[in-house]
Amino acid sequence: MAKPTTRPPRTGPIAFQMVRKLALALPGAEESTSYGTPAFKVRGRLFARLHQDGESLVVRIDRRERVMRMQADPATYFITDHYLNYPWILVRLASVARDDLGELLKDAWQLVAPPRSPPRRKTRR
């Protein structure tokens, strides 16, 4: 009898509470709304929001990264015609891995967060 292959255990769909926890852990991130859905912004700039279907997340992304993710895992990452010309990706919460979601949110935050100012030098008078 052949042994079954072992795969890492799946924890199930990501709940929106986990999205909230990961997003709000980013510096300056705040919860808001966008198009009537819960959203996350930094200094007023949107980096992620719950899609109106309630099952997907809309996340800001570099367009090259979007193509790569959609090719690598089309069951999780997709777009609709509405997003073709915009730097956003849709993420199915039922199939995204927690680590991937955390990385995706961090990257989205970095795309919209203002650059940090270098520390000021103290001048003597």
How far is Cα 31 from Cα 86, in angstroms, rounded to an integer?
Answer: 22
Residue pair 104/40 in contact by the 8 Å Cβ criterion: no
Q: Is residue 57 part of a domain?
A: yes
Q: Is residue 123 part of a domain?
A: no
Band the pLDDT of 69: cuts 50, 70, 90: very high
Among the listed residues 58, 42, 34, the one whose alpha carbon sits nearest the alpha carbon of residue 111: 42
How far is Cα 47 from Cα 101, in angstroms, rounded to an integer?
Answer: 13
* H/E stretch holding 112: helix 98-112
Q: For the domain that residue 107 is a member of, what is the CATH number? A: 3.90.1150.30
What total number of domains does the chain contain? 1
In the chain, the percentage of residues whose pLDDT exceeds 90 is 79
Model pLDDT, residue 120:
53
* 91 phi/psi in degrees, rounded to 5: -125, 120
Token pair, residue 91, equals: 């993420």
Q: Is residue 8 part of a domain?
A: no
Q: Is residue 62 part of a domain?
A: yes
Residue pair 66/80 in contact by the 8 Å Cβ criterion: no
Please state the pTM of the whole predicted model.
0.81
Token pair, residue 122, equals: 């103290």
Q: Is residue 124 part of a domain?
A: no
Task: Please report where in the chains the tokens 């989205």 appear, as a residue.
Answer: 108
pLDDT of residue 8 exceeding 80, the answer is: no
In the chain, the percentage of residues whose pLDDT exceeds 70 is 83
Band the pLDDT of 114: cuts 50, 70, 90: confident
Q: Is residue 117 part of a domain?
A: no
Parent domain of 83: 16-112
- In angstroms and rounded to an integer, the radius of gyration of the C-alpha atoms of the chain is 18
